[in-house]
């Protein structure tokens, strides 16, 4: 039995097979419409979500399976003090696979240690969000044809953004990757990540002004300032609109640069950018369904 806690739980070769399957599902969804007949996915979300929970539910439904779960810790027995270890032991009696989001870093890992079914980390605190990373990689591979040799700008909240931490970890395995981290001083990428990049000799630079680096980028990954992880409102209000990507800034970018965003967006991408053909964030959300379909099949041993 396999779980997914961290994007690195799959080798590059396994990811290639997963993405091939996701692209195959995209081309021929009818072929996969009954692959999970009789199977049940549990979505245990202790933190708010639109995309991750609903794309998991859409994925399982499109595979012919069914879904149970909760979208709010207060509507589960966590509100009465039940531990995630006990909850997953019980969910193991009801479902064949579980996607869990939790505000505490490591909670899905604790659950996986007591589980009799595959557990997927659907985001744990500011730590990792591996299925978002699978979505991001599939989007890049599908739209660009490969995953190596890119200069990627990551912009916004690089301190608390778990999607950023996961994506950096995954992309360092592809040769020729170069990172440009664009953030205010207070939201810089954590030291453990820059130390890891230095150890692996992966080139990176840290800058504050987005405009200065736009022409160099193959991809710009915008992020929301994570209000829910700030300790005080004053800091959040000061930093929340530090970056706003608009059409004027897009004029500085290459014709083939992709704009990605895990969503939800607040103000960091102006809606006027949505019509730019380089804006890929809604296509990215669609790829999130295909990759979760492929992941469910893989973890249930149905992907032969
Ligand atoms: N990208 C993402 O994780 O979105 P949700 O928080 O809506 O699931």
> In the annotation, is 51 catalytic?
yes
Shared-domain flag, residues 105 and 192: no
> In the annotation, is 144 catalytic?
no
Domain count within the chain: 2
How far apart CA 55 and CA 103 sit, in angstroms, is 19
- Phi first, then psi: what are they for 117, rounded to 5°? -130, 160
Q: Residue 2 falls within a domain, yes or no?
A: no
Shared-domain flag, residues 291 and 279: no
pLDDT at 79: 93
> In the annotation, is 80 catalytic?
yes
pLDDT at 230: 66
Q: Residue 72 falls within a domain, yes or no?
A: yes
Shared-domain flag, residues 117 and 140: no
Between 240 and 25, the more confident residue is 25
CA of residue 48 to ligand 1 center, whole Å:
8
Q: What is the pLDDT of residues 162-219, one digit of tens each?
A: 899 999 999 999 999 999 999 999 899 999 999 999 999 999 999 999 999 999 999 9
264 pocket-lining for ligand 1 (C-beta < 6 Å): yes
Per-residue pLDDT, averaged over 214-228, amounts to: 91
How far apart CA 293 and CA 291 sit, in angstroms, is 5
CA of residue 122 to ligand 1 center, whole Å:
9
CA of residue 201 to ligand 1 center, whole Å:
31
262 pocket-lining for ligand 1 (C-beta < 6 Å): yes
Shared-domain flag, residues 159 and 280: yes
pLDDT of 241 higher than 90: no
pLDDT at 233: 80
Sheet with 178-182, strands from edge to edge, namely 204-207, 178-182, 151-155, 219-222, 258-260
Q: How far is CA 98 from CA 91, 165, 214, 247, in A?
A: 8, 23, 40, 41
Among residues 53, 101, 141, 159, the one annotated as catalytic is 101
Boundaries of domain holding 99: 7-127+287-299
pLDDT at 225: 85
pLDDT of 229 higher than 80: no
Sheet with 40-45, strands from edge to edge, namely 66-70, 40-45, 97-102, 119-124
Which residue bears the tokens 């395995």?
Answer: 173
Q: Residue 123 falls within a domain, yes or no?
A: yes
pLDDT of 85 higher than 90: yes
51 pocket-lining for ligand 1 (C-beta < 6 Å): yes
CA of residue 165 to ligand 1 center, whole Å:
15
Q: What is the pLDDT of residues 5-41, one digit of tens each?
A: 998 999 999 999 999 999 999 999 999 999 999 999 9
CA of residue 221 to ligand 1 center, whole Å:
15
Closest CA to ligand 1's atom 4: 51
Query: CA 253, 255, 260: angle at the middle one, nearest 5?
Result: 65
Q: How many CA atoms lie within 13 A of 146 on its CB side?
A: 10
User: What is the rounded average pLDDT for all residues in the chain?
Assistant: 95
pLDDT at 78: 93
The pick from 51, 132, 226, 260 for probing ligand 1's pocket by mutation, whose C-beta has the most ligand atoms within 8 angstroms, reads: 51
Q: Residue 240: which pLDDT band, with cuts at 50, 70 and 90?
A: confident
Shared-domain flag, residues 278 and 236: yes
263 pocket-lining for ligand 1 (C-beta < 6 Å): yes
């Amino acid at each position: 039995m396999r779980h997914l806690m961290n994007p690195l739980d799959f080798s590059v070769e396994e990811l290639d097979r997963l993405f091939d399957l996701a692209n195959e599902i995209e081309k021929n969804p009818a072929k996969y419409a009954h692959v999970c007949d009789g199977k049940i996915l549990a979505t245990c979300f202790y933190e708010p979500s639109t995309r991750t929970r609903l794309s998991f539910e859409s994925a399982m439904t499109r595979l012919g399976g069914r879904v149970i779960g909760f979208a709010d810790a207060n509507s589960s027995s966590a509100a009465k003090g039940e531990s995630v270890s006990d909850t997953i032991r019980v969910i193991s009696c009801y479902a064949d696979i579980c996607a869990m989001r939790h505000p505490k870093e490591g909670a899905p890992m604790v659950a996986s240690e007591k589980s009799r079914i595959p557990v997927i980390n659907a985001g744990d605190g500011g730590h990792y969000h591996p299925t978002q990373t699978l979505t991001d990689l599939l989007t890049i591979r599908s739209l660009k044809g490969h995953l190596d040799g890119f200069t990627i700008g990551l912009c916004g909240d690089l301190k608390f953004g778990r999607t950023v931490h996961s994506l950096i970890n995954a992309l360092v395995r592809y040769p020729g990757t170069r990172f440009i981290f664009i953030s205010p001083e207070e939201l810089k990428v954590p030291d453990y990540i820059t130390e890891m990049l230095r150890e692996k000799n992966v080139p990176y630079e840290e800058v504050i002004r987005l405009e200065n680096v736009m022409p160099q980028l193959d991809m710009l990954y915008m992020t929301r300032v994570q209000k829910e992880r700030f300790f005080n409102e004053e800091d959040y209000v000061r930093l929340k609109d530090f970056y706003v990507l608009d059409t004027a800034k897009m004029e500085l970018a290459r014709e083939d640069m992709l704009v990605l965003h895990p969503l939800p967006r607040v103000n960091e991408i102006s809606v006027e950018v949505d019509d730019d053909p380089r804006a890929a964030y809604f296509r990215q959300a669609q790829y999130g369904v295909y990759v979760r379909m492929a992941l469910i099949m893989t973890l249930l041993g149905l992907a032969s």
